[in-house]
Structure 1
């Protein structure tokens, strides 16, 4: 189900860059649309989730509310300079564009939003607080059953099929490849950053080839070159398990569209499966699940993927999971980094995508 909520790009004189900037005055200006006045009398911040982007959960008290905005909202943006230091400003900007330009009519559920605006290196979205609908969120330390993983692949297949063969067209803001993630990861792959990150206790013992920063950089460069020349659909771009939510009676859906991009289907599928299955389940079920995705893609009107080629592309794209060897704990909790790094690390050792790419 896609929420039919008004998307706004109401210009604010300046978007806030800190939580302290989310004042009643700024929120009133942001939420007022045309002749429908919204006056916020008070903002009570009830919870903050610090991550790659910041989610601020707040209860609003209204003096006037002609748009019937709910009292519980989530305000998302780049409000933490520690994360911004990794070059994530363009990601915040891109997510604002996604909610303004692509979310309406999208072939999958996305959180309802009431305001989305961008400026250089910032994007702010005021969206529904999904907990008000009883949402359950993906937790990297508490995986869902394999059947739910298969259902999530069907969700991906539906929007991939609907947008198969996409190009930039009128969406000039939509990058080829997850540019913001690539930019941040380029920083993480630099020798002075790479080695301290992969030597942390959260990261599993890696084989020699995966500890070679120059080889890893060369592998990613080759993969990105391959992906940029491929047939594209619109990818989430960071479709790991902890990006999911589901409300009672509905299929899983994705949060955090700050890395939406034009990319081949295998980017989302491989990255998702590497995170969503235990190491044992992935080893025994991954090929079956890739076929399940391919069947769903064809069923939704997309192309029929060749079985061997689909398996090859899936294996090649397991390289994306290397990012979790380098995710700083200012972006994700230590327990999440550890769980993800071990799952993705096992997939990297099993499939050797760098060897596939470099020979």
Structure 2
């Protein structure tokens, strides 16, 4: 696997976090935000290139500075959203803090952030990055099938993240997401059952399609996972959060950055990116390759059988995450819930967690 350069720390200008797309593309505001990048040259012109609206908005734009310098950026944040969506602001703060605090210590491919704008009191933030597409990268689609060789390359990137888990010692702000999901109440068991009764659960057996079983399983997994060694993990490493460059793969979208067992990331990743038949045929080999990578990074890892057991339990995390998802395109939700739910069936994950 090719080496990855270290990342510079982005600036953190003390300006207001924009609430609208118009505010984010305002030349006067961008002049302040990009001052360190431009050496103080004012923004003379801004051209909007592309806007992608999911929960957060990503806007690609080109800037011309007063001294003639031209550059392309991508800004990500909650723009033009309702009050309910704005409550997701802490995840944007988490992502900004990833770029400001974690990315500089990593040797993995991530976007180059040039500035983060954070309002910690209001718990809102935006991140301004170099435009990866202009720099030659291509983004994978959430529905793109990976090959096993593709998964091996993306697991290499995850192993580089996991190997930096000593960072957690001084980072109480990175939370155990699985434990928090197990305690959340905004999706009730009744609501979850209604979701699972829809197309996302069509190929799943009744015991795996049961909200009662799934809620019990994520609680059992959180308890077990919290008692194991904690790693720095991505938490949402599906294909839509992977990009490709001529040098190799990289990882985006750090809004679910968390501490947890390595298996939460690995089991989710393999079963989300690979078609079911490929995952079934290749997952044991890929797990062994991942464990070898981690040992190569100097990390103590469980033996093959204990790792396999943690992997088989850990796929429950990804299944739960996608079972409760609502604000994503339905075909994406259906594919990931199906792939991960069928992995839960294949591995008997609920039974391993003591749920019958």
The TM-score normalised by the length of structure 1 is 0.88
Q: Which moved more, 1:271-280 or 1:29-38?
A: 29-38
Q: Within the alignment, does 1:113 sit opposite 2:109 as a pair?
A: no
CA distance in 2, matches of 1:278, 1:269: 15
Q: Residue 227 of structure 1 is aligned with which of 225, 230, 243?
A: 225
2:353 counterpart SS class = helix
CA distance in 1, matches of 2:228, 2:342: 26
Sort the Cα spacing of 1:304 and 1:172 in 2 relative to 1 into closer, same or farther, 3 A: closer
* Cα shift at 1:83: 9.5
TM alignment of 1:1-359, pairs within 5 A: 1-2=4-5, 4-12=7-15, 14-22=16-24, 23-33=26-36, 36-64=39-67, 71-79=71-79, 81=81, 85=85, 87-119=87-119, 120-161=122-163, 163-169=164-170, 171-177=171-177, 182=181, 186-187=184-185, 189-248=187-246, 250-322=247-319, 323-328=321-326, 330=327, 332-359=328-355
Structure 2, gaps ≥5 residues long: none
Tell me, yes or no, if the aligned pair for 1:140 and 1:339 is still in contact at 8 Å.
no
* Cα shift at 1:297: 0.8
Q: Which moved more, 1:344-353 or 1:80-89?
A: 80-89
What count of residue pairs does the alignment treat as equivalent?
A: 348
* Cα shift at 1:122: 1.6
CA distance in 1, matches of 2:133, 2:282: 32
Sort the Cα spacing of 1:243 and 1:111 in 2 relative to 1 into closer, same or farther, 3 A: same
Structure 1, gaps ≥5 residues long: none
Tell me, yes or no, if the aligned pair for 1:110 and 1:253 is still in contact at 8 Å.
yes
Runs of 4+ in 1 over 4 A off after TM superposition: none
* Cα shift at 1:5: 3.6
CA RMSD across the alignment: 2.5
Tell me, yes or no, if the aligned pair for 2:275 and 2:339 is still in contact at 8 Å.
yes
The TM-score normalised by the length of structure 2 is 0.89
Sort the Cα spacing of 1:80 and 1:221 in 2 relative to 1 into closer, same or farther, 3 A: farther
* Cα shift at 1:198: 2.3
Tell me, yes or no, if the aligned pair for 1:115 and 1:125 is still in contact at 8 Å.
yes
Write the deviation string for residues 321-357 of structure 1: whole angstroms up to 9, x where unpaired: 22223322x3x32322222222112112112322221
Write the deviation string for residues 105-164 of structure 1: whole angstroms up to 9, x where unpaired: 312121111101322332211001111122122223222321121122122223322x24
